Amino acid sequence: MTDKNSSMRQLPKVDEMIRCIASEGITNVPAVLVKLACQKEIELERQKILSGSPYQYSREDLIRRIKAEIEKQNQPHLRKVINGTGVVLHTNLGRARLSQMVSESMKEICGSYSNLEYDLETGERGTRYEHVEQLLTFLTGSEAALVVNNNAAAVYLVLNSVANGKEVIVSRGELVEIGGAFRVPEIMTASGCRLVEVGTTNKTHESDYEENINENTGALLKVHTSNYKIIGFTDEVSLEQMKAVGEKHGLPLIYDLGSGLLVDLKAYGIGDEPTVRSCLEQRADIVCFSGDKLLGGPQAGIIVGKAEYINRMKKNHLLRALRIDKLTLTALEFTLRQYLTPEAAVVQIPTLKMITEPLENLKKKRSYYMACW
């Protein structure tokens, strides 16, 4: 105990170390960060003493660690990195990169007032969703559109608005888990719906849906398995087949597309990913997808489809909790505007440009960087 007390007395006070660090010539650092760094490192020294392990106090080492901590804390936590993984849409590295046009538009809006919820023509209050709804309906061929903060929120809002308190039927082979251990069944339960699994992992038939429909069924749900494939002895029910079942029983068909592709990439050798428009043409009533995946925009959950269902969502009080801000709206609007000329979108939107880059170009880039290395 005596040794511990002796070691404790060697430790400097926080104010003393703050003065010492100031004398080291550290400038342009908020005083609060200096104080927090001193407190943290001195406390770590105390814990070493209290642990009972062999301890040797070094003032020089303490100062060095405090300075390193100050430097660390004075850097932005969210920083630019180089993606060397080869994965274009890397969730941990921020998913889709925004185009230069989008970045510039966000800079202009974030430093000014804007007409976020103001109608410049009537001089009255407007709605933030009007800034992108017309673009989305034009690009996808839908009757109406709505945007929330991510696709999990989109699925949550759709189910809560359309089938709250009712059963929703989904194929067992489509009960996906997305990043961060978020699972479709849990989202469905949280939205107020009761999940009804049909079929098996590898095979689901129309009859599986038919046999499980009852007076408490609220909707049919199809989920695009974009992050895995089941191959071999498999069978699934198409959107058109599910729509026929839904129409027979007066049930809406919801498609969680997830990826959100707006242009057909068959010309670039990528032909198995459905576009949002094709899903609606196959008569899905509601399609929801992400803004920051194949669309190449900001994080957002986009909902398109029949106006009667989307109007219900617009009146749902949950929408306020899930709504997007002016920066996301700006980024999404300008990303969507690039799609008005599809040929230009493939060149201007970084995600599409990287995905469609010819193999020969990639080989040349690799040779160049290897030579530089």
Judge contact between 224 and 197, C-beta under 8 A.
Answer: no
* Mean pLDDT of the 246-253 span: 96
Q: Is the pLDDT of residue 369 over 90?
A: no
| More confident site: 304 or 85 | 304
* Mean pLDDT of the 137-159 span: 96
* Mean pLDDT of the 96-104 span: 93
What are the residue boundaries of the structural domains of the chain, listed by start? 2-73, 96-355
Q: Is the pLDDT of residue 311 over 70?
A: yes
**β-bridge pairing 286-290 and 118-119:** unpaired
Least confident of 179-183, 185-189, 217-221, 242-246: 179-183
- The beta-carbon contacts of 85-90 under 8 Å, at least 24 apart in sequence, are 88/351, 88/354, 88/355, 89/292, 89/293, 89/294, 89/351
State the pLDDT at residue 247. Answer: 96
Question: Which range scores top for mean pLDDT: 61-70, 178-187, 223-232, 324-333?
Answer: 324-333
pLDDT band (50, 70, 90) for residue 179 = low
Instruction: Tell me which of 3.40.640.10, 1.20.120.1730, 1.10.540.10, 3.30.9.10 is the CATH number of domain 96-355.
Output: 3.40.640.10
State the pLDDT at residue 1. Answer: 46
* Mean pLDDT of the 56-80 span: 90
Judge contact between 21 and 63, C-beta under 8 A.
Answer: yes
Least confident of 64-73, 134-143, 171-180, 324-333: 171-180
State the pLDDT at residue 181. Answer: 62
Least confident of 261-265, 301-305, 306-310, 363-367: 363-367
Q: For residue range 40-67, what is the model confidence (pLDDT) as tens digits?
A: 999 998 898 888 778 788 888 999 999 9
Contacts of 359 (CB under 8 A, 6+ apart): none
Three-state SS sequence of 162-200: HHCCCEEEEEHHHCCEEHHHEEHHHHHHHCCCEEEEECC
Q: For residue range 4-29, what is the model confidence (pLDDT) as tens digits?
A: 788 888 888 899 888 888 888 777 88
Least confident of 5-14, 82-91, 216-225, 259-268: 5-14
pLDDT band (50, 70, 90) for residue 121 = very high
State the pLDDT at residue 10. Answer: 82
DSSP category for residue 267: G
State the pLDDT at residue 58. Answer: 87
Would you tell me the crossing angle of helices 31-50 and 2-10 to the nearest 10 degrees? 160
Q: Is the pLDDT of residue 2 over 80?
A: no
The whole-chain average pLDDT of the chain stands at 91
Say what percent of the chain tops pLDDT 90.
67
Q: Is the pLDDT of residue 238 over 70?
A: yes
* Mean pLDDT of the 236-258 span: 95
Spatial CA neighbour of 309 closest among 192, 151, 160, 128: 160
* Mean pLDDT of the 192-219 span: 94
Instruction: Give 275's strand partners.
Output: 261
pLDDT band (50, 70, 90) for residue 180 = low
Buried residues in 170-179 as b, exposed as e (16+ CB within 10 A): bbebbbbebe
Q: What is the pTM of this model?
A: 0.89
State the pLDDT at residue 363. Answer: 87
